[in-house]
Amino acid sequence: MTELEKCMAGEIYDCHNEAFLYLKEETRRLLREYNSLRYEQKEEKQDILNRLFHQIDTNVSVAQPFLCDYGTNISLGSNVSINMNCTFVDCNKIEIGDNVLIASNVQLYTATHPVELSERLTPNWNMETGQYFCRTYALPIKIGSGCWLGGGVIVLPGVTIGAGSVIGAGSVVTKDIPENSLAVGNPCRVIRKINGETM
């Protein structure tokens, strides 16, 4: 398997492999350009987002500044609003459905490391080999249609948030949230079911 294939399979991979470094360099260039545009330059913004993301449907707004690792692993549905200062660490897939609100300072993290120190450190690590000193893997994040993530929410690797759910501001989502749920806190927990029907 290539390092990219390992990454997308959720296995330990070399995040400093040349393929990733090239992607990051290109993404940083696009983000610098995007984040420097004026509010009214909507056509220019849309052009960059089309190049940056794997998929982007209609009526999508991404406020500045916005940060991501690669962009190519991010898919956005229709009617998606991403407010300012959001960070998407998209080492693996981040899939966001339709009619989703993402408030300011939301952070979506797909990358992670083994908890045990003996597993986290690269065996026989040597700076001269060019290896990174610790091991990394990444797990996908999925946010269903009709969700609302409040300000400052953090979503950890491998989490799925079910359609129609609302995550309260400042919550840290460590586990899957079922659909049509109101969930809050650190760690985030469901406090009640909500009506998922549209008008």
pLDDT of residue 79: 98
Reported as a pLDDT band with limits 50, 70 and 90, residue 132 is confident
Inform me whether the pLDDT recorded for 15 exceeds 70.
yes
Whether 157 contacts 175, CB under 8 Å: no
Q: Write down the pLDDT at residue 196.
A: 66
DSSP label at residue 121: B
DSSP category for residue 32 = H
pLDDT digits (tens, 9 = 90+) for 163-190: 999 999 999 999 999 999 999 999 999 9
How many Cβ atoms sit within 10 Å of the Cβ of residue 96? 26
Whether 138 has a pLDDT exceeding 60, the answer reads yes
The amino acid that residue 126 corresponds to is: N
- pLDDT of 114: 94
Return mean pLDDT, the chain. Answer: 94
pLDDT digits (tens, 9 = 90+) for 91-117: 999 999 999 999 999 999 999 999 999
Of 1-10, 72-81, 174-183, least confident by mean pLDDT is: 1-10
Q: Per-residue pLDDT for 131 more than 80?
A: no
Half-sphere exposure at residue 81, Cβ-oriented, CA atoms within 13 angstroms: 11
199 has a pLDDT exceeding 70 = no
Structural domain boundaries in the chain = 3-193
Q: Higher pLDDT residue, 168 or 15?
A: 168
pLDDT at 55 over 60: yes
Read off the pTM: 0.94
User: Quick one: average pLDDT of 146-165?
Assistant: 98
* Class of the CATH-defined domain 3-193: mainly beta
User: Percent of the chain scored above 70 by pLDDT?
Assistant: 96
Known catalytic residues are: 113
| Region of poorest pLDDT, from 10-19, 84-93, 126-135, 189-198 | 126-135
- The set of long-range contacts for 59-62, using a CB threshold of 8 Å and a minimum separation of 24, is 62/86
